Amino acid sequence: MDEPSLYTFPSLVATVATVSAAISFFKISKGSKFGFQRNAVKHSFSNPLVGSVSILSNDDSVLGRDSVEGSIKGYEKLFRNGVHEDGSDLNNMQTRQKEYESMVNSFYDLVTDFYEWGWGQSFHFAPRRQGETFDESVYRSEHYLALRTGMDGSKKVLDVGCGVGGPMRNIAAFTGADITGVTINEYQVRVANKYNEQKGLDKSCRVIQGDFQKLPDYFEEETFDIAYAIEATCHSPDRKTCFSGVNKCLKKGGLFVGYDWVVLPERGYDSKNAEHVRIKEGIEVGNGLPTLTTPEEVLKAVEDAGFEIIESYDANKNMHSVHEIPWYQTLKGSMSLKGFRMTHVGRIVTHMMVNFLEFCRIAPNGSIRVSSLLNATAIDLVKGGEEDIFTPSFFFLAKKK
């Protein structure tokens, strides 16, 4: 079904946003027990009435209600100069690389709830076959990493940049492996470990707060059999340092596998094309990235860190085949009940709802700015995919020498 234009049903959009917010406000103001509950089995934000007023404001939050606006303003300062006419952004890029720890932590304080609201617990894209749901494609991409590395109940595994642990739990349930995740963000640690316990996986899955640039600070050498990173090391200001830490934590012959975000010069990305650079910068701004790099630079960092490359390719290389659905199609949006929040129209509805909630002082000040940031980067992600200059799924498999 073709995606309808927003302007064909403005009253519906306004009604959904207004009624949702009004009912939520009424129930909360009356002190109802009908409150937000973290739930690993059922989508925590599945109830739009309760979930909408819990974004950036729930018992697990590390940001106080009065801190959201200051946090988003501080984050925006790292991108304050924008892209210059010649497409260069050197000063900003250097600042972001220097201050990546604060930048990434602030970013996930702000966006984790929005990601769960629209995406679920696995914060990543995936190659998708015709007839396959978005969730099925996500599970398949995660299980593929497990199969390629031979994960089973005897393996100790490191999840590098684990988020709230959706992939960890899916992989652990699939393989029985023992998995330790690392995320820089305290809020994600709280949420992930709560979900691990709720799913009965807290004996085989745990998350610690740490900087994946400093992995040897947290683990003894040769602790793990396997390591994986799913769309996480794009946050690294120096992949060689990150990957070297992974290498030290792995046993000799241990495998490192992952998906990374890259631009694609071989398929059309042109660093002298102002529009291409603007799209690249938009993706960086909206995703807390120091700078996007190329497949060649990722592989060089893997090799320089002491690994032998076994295989690498863009998992989305056939996305325009008649047998596949482009990875960005979910963001671009076809009208459907499931996954509506991820679509273009769904994001507009969500943004209108956030506006209403902030206006009524239900949502913290600054929520609108976070929503705007994510809407803008979704548009740039779609453009990067349509023009075939960017992929979020550059696959690599490597072995420790």
As a whole number, mean pLDDT of residues 57-79 equals: 83
pLDDT at position 178 is 98
Q: How far apart are CA 238 and CA 93, in angstroms?
A: 12
Confidence bin at 354 (pLDDT 50/70/90):
confident
Q: For 32-50, write each residue's pLDDT tens digit.
A: 334 678 888 877 887 777 7
More confident residue, 180 or 95: 180
Residue 189 sits at the vertex; the CA angle it makes with 394 and 167, to the nearest 5 degrees, is 35
Domains and CATH numbers, the chain: 6-121+321-386 (no CATH), 132-319+389-400 (3.40.50.150)
Q: For 246-260, write each residue's pLDDT tens digit.
A: 999 999 999 999 999
Mean of per-residue pLDDT scores for the chain: 85
What's the whole-model pTM score? 0.87
As a whole number, mean pLDDT of residues 195-224 equals: 97
As a whole number, mean pLDDT of residues 280-303 equals: 95
As a whole number, mean pLDDT of residues 62-82 equals: 78
Confidence bin at 54 (pLDDT 50/70/90):
confident
As a whole number, mean pLDDT of residues 159-172 equals: 98
Q: Does the pLDDT at position 270 exceed 60? A: yes
3-state secondary structure of 156: strand
Do strands 390-400 and 307-314 pair parallel, antiparallel, or not at all (unpaired)? antiparallel
Q: Cβ distance 380 to 292 under 8 Å?
A: no
pLDDT at position 87 is 41
Least confident of 71-80, 108-117, 160-169: 71-80
Element (H, E) at 400: strand 390-400
Q: Does the pLDDT at position 2 exceed 80? A: no
Q: What percent of the chain has pLDDT over 70?
A: 84
Q: For 13-36, write each residue's pLDDT tens digit.
A: 444 444 454 444 444 443 333 467
As a whole number, mean pLDDT of residues 217-246 equals: 97
As a whole number, mean pLDDT of residues 377-400 equals: 96
pLDDT at position 337 is 45
Q: How far apart are CA 383 and CA 61, in angstroms?
A: 33
Confidence bin at 99 (pLDDT 50/70/90):
low
Q: What Å distances lie between residue 172 and 120, 149, 158, 346, CA to CA?
A: 17, 13, 12, 32
pLDDT at position 35 is 66
Confidence bin at 98 (pLDDT 50/70/90):
low
Do strands 307-314 and 250-263 pair parallel, antiparallel, or not at all (unpaired)? unpaired
